Amino acid sequence: MDEIRAAADRISGRVRRTPVVTVEPSAFGHPVTLKLEHLQHTGSFKPRGSFNRLLSHTIPDTGVIAASGGNHGLAVAYAARELGVPAEVFVPETSSPVKVRRLVGYGARVTQVGRQYAEAYAASVERAAATGALVVHAYDDPEVQAGQGTVGLELAEQAPGVDTVVVAVGGGGLIGGIAAWYGGTVQVVAVEPHRAATLAGALAAGRPVDVDVDGVAADSLGARRISGLTLETAVATGVRSVLVDDKAIMDARQLLWDELRLAVEPGGAAALAALVGGAYQPATDERVAVVVCGANTDPADLAAVRSAS
């Protein structure tokens, strides 16, 4: 918690304090408080960790380097631009064109490699070794996770009475930081797509393991292996893991648009999908907060889904 407080001080003025909205009675099956982190700079929570990592180091002349499904790369490119340092970002060939265009717009050098995040990451490691650039890992880094944990710090201040916080999981940086902040005093529920279940697989095996990655949210929740640091935190704080299918994710995404006019990407709706699809069923009087974590989507896609429904 001390590291998260220090991160909050370090990144203050660089990131937005995103709002919360309580929806009650709820079209989502239960009253919920939504933490609207998709309104953060670059459209996701990721700048928190990126700024904390960059501001904790003297950055070499060769700048910073990252691998990403898209959102982390946007955050690193944005932070680097704000701090006046070069950034190089490796992304899979499957990354959303929306995200790739924005990366270029932030001034990053972009290289697309392979079909999955793991391939882009391997290429970025090789490049970093050759250039000496500061590596900003998407999730498996204490400074990055402390930065992401400031979401939990803010939420605890904005909604102090919640019993449960529901968070989507890819590589685990966000849930690792949030679970570390609450330290087991509030139930944290980890939501993963069935076809990208890194935390569930690690909990079953007792260690991080590689899993197959596919599905509608793979571009943002498509890490092949959970962070070891996140797994330790999840076990220590009693994080509960639930799985959702692609239909529940897209239904939750559509509900956010239909009910609140919030345009989010599939990964950003994954946490809410646990309530919408019934993977997590709160008690009648349970006070639930859901983190809406990403907005880098094409609104035309939402309109198409809506007209077809």
Q: Please say if the pLDDT value at position 309 is more than 80.
A: no
- Amino acid in the structure at residue 218: A
Question: What's the chain look like in SS3?
Answer: CHHHHHHHHHHCCCCCCCCEEEECCCCCCCCEEEEEHHHCHHHECCHHHHHHHHHCCCCCCCCEEEECCCHHHHHHHHHHHHHCCCEEEEECCCCCHHHHHHHHHCCCEEEECCCCHHHHHHHHHHHHHHHCCEECCCCCCHHHHHHHCHHHHHHHHHCCCCCEEEEECCCCHHHHHHHHHHCCCCEEEEEEEHHHCHHHHHHHHCCCCCCCCCCCCHHHHCCCCCCHHHHHHHHHHCCEEEEECHHHHHHHHHHHHHHHCCCCCHHHHHHHHHHHCCCCCCCCCCCEEEEECECCCCHHHHHHHHHHC
The rounded mean pLDDT for the chain is 94
pLDDT value of position 306? 53
d(CA 96, CA 71): 10
Percent of the residues in the chain that have a pLDDT greater than 70, as a whole number: 98
Q: Return all residues near 78 (Cβ < 8 A) that are at least 6 apart.
A: 41, 42, 47, 50, 106
Q: Return all residues near 68 (Cβ < 8 A) that are at least 6 apart.
A: 74, 76, 89, 90, 91, 95, 117, 120, 138
Instruction: Place 304 in a pLDDT band, splitting at 50, 70 and 90.
Output: low
pLDDT value of position 284? 94
* pLDDT tens for each residue of 187-246: 999 999 999 999 999 999 999 999 998 999 988 898 889 999 999 999 999 999 999 999
Q: Please say if the pLDDT value at position 27 is more than 50.
A: yes
Instruction: Place 297 in a pLDDT band, splitting at 50, 70 and 90.
Output: confident
* pLDDT tens for each residue of 90-107: 998 888 787 888 899 999
pLDDT value of position 308? 44
Instruction: Place 299 in a pLDDT band, splitting at 50, 70 and 90.
Output: confident
Instruction: Place 301 in a pLDDT band, splitting at 50, 70 and 90.
Output: confident
Domains along the sequence of the chain with CATH: 2-45+142-308 (3.40.50.1100), 47-135 (3.40.50.1100)
Instruction: Place 13 in a pLDDT band, splitting at 50, 70 and 90.
Output: very high
d(CA 281, CA 284): 9
* pLDDT tens for each residue of 59-89: 999 999 999 877 899 999 999 999 999 999 9
Distances (CA, A) of 99 to 93, 95, 103, 229, 243: 12, 7, 6, 27, 26
Average of per-residue pLDDT across 242-254? 96
pLDDT value of position 303? 65
Instruction: Place 108 in a pLDDT band, splitting at 50, 70 and 90.
Output: very high
* pLDDT tens for each residue of 110-148: 999 998 888 899 999 999 999 999 999 999 999 999 999
pLDDT value of position 254? 92
Say whether pTM exceeds 0.85. yes
